[in-house]
Amino acid sequence: VRIGGGSMAMIAGPCAVESAEVLDTIAGAVKDAGANILRGGAFKPRTSPYSFQGLGEEGLKILREAGNKHNLPVVTEIMDPRQVEIVERYCDMFQVGARNMQNFDLLKEVGQANKPVLLKRGMSATVKDMLMSAEYILAEGNHQVVLCERGVRSFEDSTRNMLDMSAVPNVKGQSHLPIIVDPSHATGRPDLIPAMARAAVAAGADGVHIEVHSCPEKALSDGPQALLPKQYAALMGDLRRLAEVMGKRM
Amino acid sequence: VRIGGGSMAMIAGPCAVESAEVLDTIAGAVKDAGANILRGGAFKPRTSPYSFQGLGEEGLKILREAGNKHNLPVVTEIMDPRQVEIVERYCDMFQVGARNMQNFDLLKEVGQANKPVLLKRGMSATVKDMLMSAEYILAEGNHQVVLCERGVRSFEDSTRNMLDMSAVPNVKGQSHLPIIVDPSHATGRPDLIPAMARAAVAAGADGVHIEVHSCPEKALSDGPQALLPKQYAALMGDLRRLAEVMGKRM
Amino acid sequence: VRIGGGSMAMIAGPCAVESAEVLDTIAGAVKDAGANILRGGAFKPRTSPYSFQGLGEEGLKILREAGNKHNLPVVTEIMDPRQVEIVERYCDMFQVGARNMQNFDLLKEVGQANKPVLLKRGMSATVKDMLMSAEYILAEGNHQVVLCERGVRSFEDSTRNMLDMSAVPNVKGQSHLPIIVDPSHATGRPDLIPAMARAAVAAGADGVHIEVHSCPEKALSDGPQALLPKQYAALMGDLRRLAEVMGKRM
Amino acid sequence: VRIGGGSMAMIAGPCAVESAEVLDTIAGAVKDAGANILRGGAFKPRTSPYSFQGLGEEGLKILREAGNKHNLPVVTEIMDPRQVEIVERYCDMFQVGARNMQNFDLLKEVGQANKPVLLKRGMSATVKDMLMSAEYILAEGNHQVVLCERGVRSFEDSTRNMLDMSAVPNVKGQSHLPIIVDPSHATGRPDLIPAMARAAVAAGADGVHIEVHSCPEKALSDGPQALLPKQYAALMGDLRRLAEVMGKRM
């Protein structure tokens, strides 16, 4: 999968890996809809220590198997520099989440690994801060960095975060790095995700990252913000038409 | 000009009306590019009392003449409830700016007028606050209200404001009112305006509001954020293709 | 009443003037506790047009009478430049609220009046913006301007606004104007108001503005954030001790 | 040193440990002024990888020696869970910085250590988020947690961050944990630090954390925001008087 240069990363999957069965269903559905990377969390950064923390290595195995079965590379979040080895063993791409965008030791560690890194913007990071964090990875020799706009904290209380769509052209004007958009975490609302995914493509993003769950009401994490597989498939049709207007391949 | 229901408001013009000659040039250019409403400020809300405050009634006359000559309805900002009569005499649409979104006496006054109102979102107004402000106008009997997302204040210091693109589907989910997007004030950067205008159309906005100036470096107000006429024309080509994908008329 | 130069404005009263009886009770209580200016709203800027909008001129009369009876100068909010004459007739000080900090025509109008102006910081105004708004009043010849920090919008959702206490020394470093603090609107929480009022005095503020209501649960506006008279009296004891340490008179 | 329950933590020292000589000078000065904990960074979280990153273990040794010589316990920032052992060897208190407030693996690791933790609020963390992060440490068995308000990101561009002073009573209303205030990082301006330190004491904070440098213009990190030793000493006199009014011991 190439990302950037006209090729788009269509990343989809559940917030957390919950079981082989559920992930298999979701992976099959997003693959059919046109996704080219499967996501799923095994180590979950939760605000409260009493929330579900992810399945750990068991989750990584399930993710790897689903990726293999459906022929999709897999990406998962890494939270601790000591997890690089195990995550690298099972996955094709590291995700550094918003809460760890300035966890500099983690950045240095994935900077020494040989797999691409999806670096999400911190909740109150400026675009320049995000580029500086990318620099921590690049400076260690890993040049495969993909940035991700996922919304920032604001006073608006009807959405989970505020999606700063202008980060897309803003980054493109000062860096060669590809940038994708995550409307799921940015809005936290399935009714707003499709419009924001379309806007991302029209703004020139190199991909979109969307949470999909076959049964959102039973999801162990962030269920309410997930799209259903059929909603995702419908959205992908729209995105394909917009990508064409933008001269991009999906 | 209809706004909403598949018809788009393409509002363009200079920040401030400066002279008949300059406005005539700009009006002709934006008309040719496909704009269907001409904007220009005669009463300018400036942070400092020592900045250019607009030409007042003289500016309204110039705006009216340019509108007549180029067959474009005109919109201008109103700042004081005592200006309703004079603005109504010359213009086709009132604009209530961000700084006055909660100037409730002004809202009531334009609510009693017979011309449509373009209500811009306040710099730290929630979407709900904006809808409540629209309600002040509607409750007085004026049902022709168009909302405008123009960015909110944030910590990001590389753009003038942060464009909250999700306001578009957010409003559409809870109100029948049309909503347009102003990427000029939202970003303050000509290099970001085209991408944000495209994103607005893809997000489902009912129009875009863009500042255009034939000689930005000589503009008396907000020149640095204006597009050149030829940049605007090129952008309009992109927007037309995206509007088509979205099933809209421009 | 002098404000600044070591003299403090202790402004107190209900959010809105509701009736002569209620206001009389409150005015007597705050006077006894040491307040030197009585506040009460007759024209209320409410987010929704369907909320209580204030008693208008009737409210001004009640406020004036309470002020006379208890020998307290009175301050009330003005929202419309056409209200200057009537407000000036009944009150000793104009308040320009946060929503109107950049209502420039209102600022000019009170700039031509002969009574002092309490100018509250806008909900997303920088300190510099606030000083520029004061400049609109000063430039018209009215030099009696008192600034008021009342919190700004932020992502923190457990308080109504975020009190920017650093605005106090920040203003003092670049202007001769006095600045007071309003912990009532800033926090919206009676449990936080005393600590913030104390902090304001220690930060060097020239006064505090506190909402007091004898029966908060029956208040027509912002009741839940009001202090009870006895809470206010207890707080005033603390403030007096802190003012002494700071070398101020209360 | 007890923190909370009427006893205050007066933490002072340079941003980064730079050399034994410089630290010795500063430590002596802050001890004389009444500080009871010495701070200094050996591992520095810098936005850019090309900025000074701290002296590492060498810095820890220098810090320990200065603490021993001047009879001050020492606190330093930890950024990586793999640093717990080495930091614990040299220091008396861990500091988890704003950028790592939601670095949950780091929180768990210091939660298993036997030394107190100074947990700083994240740049866009709510008070509730901060308490939940503290819970990660407490849940591992380490009950010695001190919270620190150090400002959050906002639109105000004349200060480094916005100090949310209301966090002090806000935390005290829902947790037994002590909370101190860091006006140095919150404002980034020496001219505002004294007023904010005074306000913190009056708001009920259990201490203040202030950066002091004997030669700010030569500091390798954050020099411009440091107080000079004599400014710190003068401030401590004010704080002592205010603490007395508040019934606290310094």
The per-residue pLDDT for range D190-213, each reduced to its tens digit, is 999 999 999 999 999 999 999 999
From the candidates D152, D153, D155, D160, which should be mutated to test the interface with B, based on the most B CB atoms within 10 A? D155
Spatial distance between the Cα atoms of A25 and A8, rounded to a whole number of angstroms: 23
Contact check, Cβ <8 Å, B79/C104: yes
Q: From A83, which residue of chain D is nearest by alpha-carbon distance?
A: D105
Count the helix, strand and coil residues of chain A and give each as a percent rounded to the nearest 5.
Answer: 40, 15, 40
CA distance D72 to chain A (A): 29
Q: Answer whether C241 touches D (CB < 8 Å).
A: yes
Task: Determine the residue of chain C that is closest to A161 in CA distance.
Answer: C155
Query: Which of A50, A79, A86, A124 should one mutate to test binding to chain D, selecting the residue with the greatest count of D CBs within 10 A?
Result: A124
Find the CB nearest C202 among D166, D168, D199.
Answer: D199
Mean pLDDT of A55-65: 98
C217 touches A at CB < 8 Å: no
Instruction: Provide the residue count of chain A.
Output: 250
Residue in A198, A204, A245 closest to B203 by CB: A198
Tell me if chain A has a CB within 8 Å of the CB of C155. yes
Predicted pLDDT of residue C222? 86
Mean pLDDT over the full length of chain A = 97
- The residues near B190 (Cβ < 8 Å, ≥ 6 apart) are B216, B224, B225, B226, B227, B231
Look at strands A207-211 and B93-96 and give their pairing. Answer: unpaired
- Burial class of A142 by CB neighbour count within 10 A (0 to 12, 13 to 18, 19+): buried
Q: Quick one: pLDDT at residue A214?
A: 95
For the residues D1-10, what does the mean pLDDT come to? 95
**Which chain B residue shows the shortest CA-CA distance from D162?**
B155
Q: What is the pLDDT of residue D73?
A: 98
Secondary structure element (H or E) that encloses residue A209, with its range: strand A207-211
Q: Closest residue of B to D154, CA-based?
A: B155
| Euclidean distance between CA atoms D151 and D6, whole angstroms | 24
Asked whether the beta carbons of residue C162 and residue D162 sit closer than 8 angstroms, the reply is: yes
- Residue with structure tokens 């001790």? C241
Q: Tell me, what's the pLDDT at A246? A: 96
The reply to whether residue B135 touches residue C103, judged by beta carbons under 8 angstroms, is no
Element (H, E) at C119: strand C117-120
d(CA D228, CA B108): 56
pLDDT per position as a tens digit, A89-105? 999 999 999 999 999 99
Counting Cα atoms < 13 Å in the Cβ hemisphere of A102 gives: 24
Q: CB distance A166–B124 less than 8 Å?
A: no
The arithmetic mean of pLDDT across residues A129-135, rounded, is 98
A149: which DSSP letter?
Answer: E
Give the pLDDT confidence score for residue A250 in this predicted structure. 87
A-contacting chains (≥3 CB pairs under 8 Å): B, C, D
Q: Which residues pair with A162 in a beta bridge?
A: A152
HSE-CB for B109 with a 13 A CA cutoff: 25
Q: Which of the four pLDDT bands, split at 50, 70 and 90, describes residue D189?
A: very high
Mean pLDDT of all residues in A104-132: 98
Share of chain C above pLDDT 90, in %: 96
Which residues of chain C does D202 touch, with a Cβ-Cβ cutoff of 8 Å? 195, 198-199, 201-203, 242
Instruction: Please say whether the beta carbons of B127 and B153 come within 8 A.
Output: no
Whether D221 shows a pLDDT value over 90: the answer reads no
CA dihedral (D84, D86, D92, D96) positive or negative: negative
Confidence (pLDDT) at B198: 98
Taking an 8 Å cut-off on Cβ atoms, the answer to whether C124 and B152 are in contact is yes
Kindly determine whether residue C195 and residue D162, on different chains, have CB atoms separated by under 8 Å: no
Query: Among B9, B249, B207, B31, which Cα is nearest to B1's?
Result: B9
Burial of residue A71 (number of CB atoms within 10 Å: 0-12, 13-18, 19+): exposed
Q: Is the pLDDT of residue D223 over 90?
A: no
CB distance C49–B105 less than 8 Å?
no
Question: Between residues C218 and A36, which one has the greater pLDDT?
Answer: A36
pLDDT tens-digit map of D105-116: 999 999 999 999
Q: Is the ipTM of this complex over 0.90?
A: yes
Minimal CA separation from C120 to chain B, in Å = 14
CA distance C195 to chain B (A): 26
Subunit contact C154:D168, Cβ cutoff 8 A: no
Q: Do A152 and B156 touch (CB under 8 A)?
A: yes
The mean pLDDT value for A69-97 works out to: 97
> Which neighbouring-strand residues pair with C13?
C211
Tell which residue, A80, A85, A63, has the closest CA to residue A72.
Answer: A63
Contacts of C155 in chain A (CB under 8 A): 153-155
Q: Which residue, D74, D76, D23, is CA-closest to D45?
A: D76
Supply the DSSP symbol for D89: H
The partner residue sitting opposite B82, judged by closest CB among C47, C81, C99, is C81
> In this structure, how many other beta carbons lie within 10 angstroms of the beta carbon of residue A217?
8
Q: Which H or E run contains D157?
A: none
Interchain contact C19–A (C-beta under 8 A):
no
Q: What is the pLDDT of residues C50-80, one digit of tens each?
A: 999 999 999 999 999 999 999 999 999 999 9
Q: Please, which pLDDT band fits residue C12 given cuts at 50, 70 and 90? A: very high
Model pLDDT for residues C153-184, shown as the tens digit of each residue: 999 999 999 999 999 999 999 999 999 999 99
| Over residues A180-205, mean pLDDT | 98
Average pLDDT over residues C74-93: 97
Per the CB < 8 A criterion, the answer to whether C42 and C59 are in contact is yes
Mutation to test the D interface, candidates B155, B156, B157, B160, most D Cβ within 10 Å: B155
Q: How far apart are CA D139 and CA A205, in angstroms?
A: 41
pLDDT, averaged per 10 consecutive residues of chain B (250 residues), comes to 95 97 98 98 94 96 98 98 97 98 98 97 98 98 98 98 98 98 98 98 98 93 93 98 94
- Hey, is C172 helix, strand or coil? helix
pTM of the full structure: 0.96
The amino acid at B56: G
Nearest CB to B202 within list A155, A191, A242: A242
Nearest-by-Cβ selection for A48 from D79, D80, D132: D132
Measured between alpha carbons, how far is B128 from B134 in angstroms, rounded to an integer?
10
Whole-angstrom distance, CA of residue A57 vs CA of residue A59: 5
Say if the Cβ atoms of B187 and A195 lie within 8 Å: no
Say whether D153 and B155 touch across the interface (CB within 8 A): yes
CB of A191 within 8 Å of any CB in chain C? no
pLDDT exceeds cutoff 90 at C223: no
Residue A25 has pLDDT above 90, yes or no: yes
Q: What is the pLDDT of residue B177?
A: 98
Is D56 an interface residue toward A (CB < 8 Å)?
Answer: no
